[in-house]
């Protein structure tokens, strides 16, 4: 099942360097001006050279009007899930439903521990992430008055009040490459957010999709419940090349529509902090990809609506 039929969105991956905060905010505004859909920032709270991602997301949300915002991705070990859930709901309420939650299990354990955070094995970190998702979704869910109890190994809540509910169904996207995380995505998440730079062979993507799809089906969901997002990098030039995302906008459009039709990706998030490239992505590449994909999907599917998580 290569193409999951999600609507296409395009965004940016902006380095949150604190040396020139105004430039970072400016790039988010450029994202909006370029007609893109989403601005994202990496989250490494142990990295003293970066702005705090949560603060930045909130500040930038106040300074923009239309784009969605997400971390790419939140460092869960340093951001306890119960407060995170309320913070996310609050940002979604303040921004009128413009927030999505990219989450990560944590990777740089020395640095996390140096900040007073926990040190977890890969397996533990995935269990913790899964527990964190349960807490976050539980706190967002005000449709029930049932007492919220998550008695996890790493996180516990016991009777914490539910709410506030976010303004829209915030999507939870997980950054991941390995099978265990992919299965967690299939079970519980709304999106898979890998980076193209870390993918060795395109064929690996097919295998990963399959893992996610099978886990989704096993959990009683459908593969379409999981959006596939991709962090991309590249260079625009006048010359076509035989490399991925190194060439003119038309070549980018062809390659991205292939990634959509053959590998199921529907969101492309561009790194590089290059305002000009952002404009080209928004003004030239995005419309062309949408056109190519629409033509391929056929008239009956042109108004494909985004799949909603369970």
Which residue ranges make up the site for another protein (CB under 8 A)?
A: 17-21, 23, 25, 45-52, 54-63, 78-83, 86-87, 89-91, 93-94, 110-111, 113-117, 135, 139, 142, 155-164
**305 vs 104, 117, 166, 214, 296, CA distance in Å?**
26, 40, 21, 22, 16
Among residues 56 and 245, whose Cβ is nearest to another protein? 56
Least Å from the CB of residue 243 to another protein: 15
Query: Which CB, 23 or 66, lies closer to another protein?
Result: 23
Nearer to another protein, 164 or 309 (CB): 164
> 132 or 194, CB closer to another protein?
132
* Nearest approach, Cβ of residue 79 and another protein (Å): 7
Q: Which is nearer to another protein, 140 or 268 (CB)?
A: 140
- C-alpha span between 57 and 80 (Å, rounded): 17
- What is the number of alpha carbons within 13 Å of residue 274 lying toward its C-beta? 13
Overall residue count recorded for the chain in this entry: 310
Q: How far is the CB of 13 from another protein (least distance, A)?
A: 18
59/249 with CB nearer another protein: 59
Report residue 176 as tokens.
Answer: 């991941």
- Rounded-to-integer distance, Cα 158 and Cα 268, Å: 39
Q: How far is the CB of 51 from another protein (least distance, A)?
A: 4
Would you tell me the crossing angle of helices 202-218 and 179-188 to the nearest 10 degrees?
50
Least distance (Å) between residue 164 CB and another protein: 4
Largest CA distance in the chain: 61
What is the sign of the dihedral through the CA atoms of 110, 111, 117 and 123?
negative
Q: Which is nearer to another protein, 142 or 241 (CB)?
A: 142
| Helix locations, the chain, DSSP H | 21-33, 53-63, 81-94, 109-114, 122-140, 179-188, 202-218, 249-263, 275-280, 286-297
Residue 189 CB, nearest approach to another protein (Å): 21
CB 8 within 8 A of CB 289: yes
Exposure of 126 in the CB half-sphere (CA atoms within 13 A): 16
What is the radius of gyration, based on Cα positions, of the chain? Answer: 19
- Least distance to another protein from the beta carbon of 86, Å? 5
């Amino acid at each position: 099942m290569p193409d999951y039929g999600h609507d296409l969105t395009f965004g940016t991956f902006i380095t949150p360097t604190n040396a020139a905060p105004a430039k970072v905010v400016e790039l988010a505004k450029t994202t909006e001006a370029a007609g893109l859909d989403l601005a994202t920032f990496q989250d490494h709270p142990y990295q003293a050279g970066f702005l705090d991602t949560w603060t930045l997301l909130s500040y930038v949300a106040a300074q923009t009007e239309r784009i969605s915002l997400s971390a790419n991705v939140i460092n869960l070990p340093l951001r306890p899930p119960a407060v995170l859930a309320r913070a996310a709901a609050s940002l979604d309420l303040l921004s009128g439903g413009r927030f999505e939650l990219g989450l990560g299990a944590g990777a740089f354990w020395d640095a996390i521990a140096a900040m007073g955070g926990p040190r977890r094995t890969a397996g533990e970190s995935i269990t913790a992430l899964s527990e964190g998702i349960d807490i976050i979704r539980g706190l967002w869910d005000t449709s029930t008055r049932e007492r919220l109890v998550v008695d996890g190994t790493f996180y516990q809540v016991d009777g914490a009040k539910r709410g506030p509910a976010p303004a829209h169904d915030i999507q939870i996207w997980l950054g991941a490459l390995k099978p265990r995380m992919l299965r967690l995505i299939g079970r519980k998440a709304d999106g898979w957010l890998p980076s193209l730079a870390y993918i060795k062979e395109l064929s690996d993507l097919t295998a990963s999709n399959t893992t996610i799809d099978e886990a989704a089906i096993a959990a009683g969901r459908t593969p379409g419940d999981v959006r596939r997002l991709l962090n991309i990098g590249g260079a625009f030039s006048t010359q076509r090349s035989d490399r991925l995302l190194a060439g003119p906008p038309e070549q980018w459009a062809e390659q991205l529509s292939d990634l959509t039709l053959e590998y199921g990706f529907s969101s492309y998030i561009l790194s590089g902090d290059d305002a000009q490239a952002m404009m080209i992505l928004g003004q030239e590449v995005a419309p062309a990809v949408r056109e190519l994909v629409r033509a391929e999907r056929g008239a009956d599917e042109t108004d494909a609506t985004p799949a909603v998580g369970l």
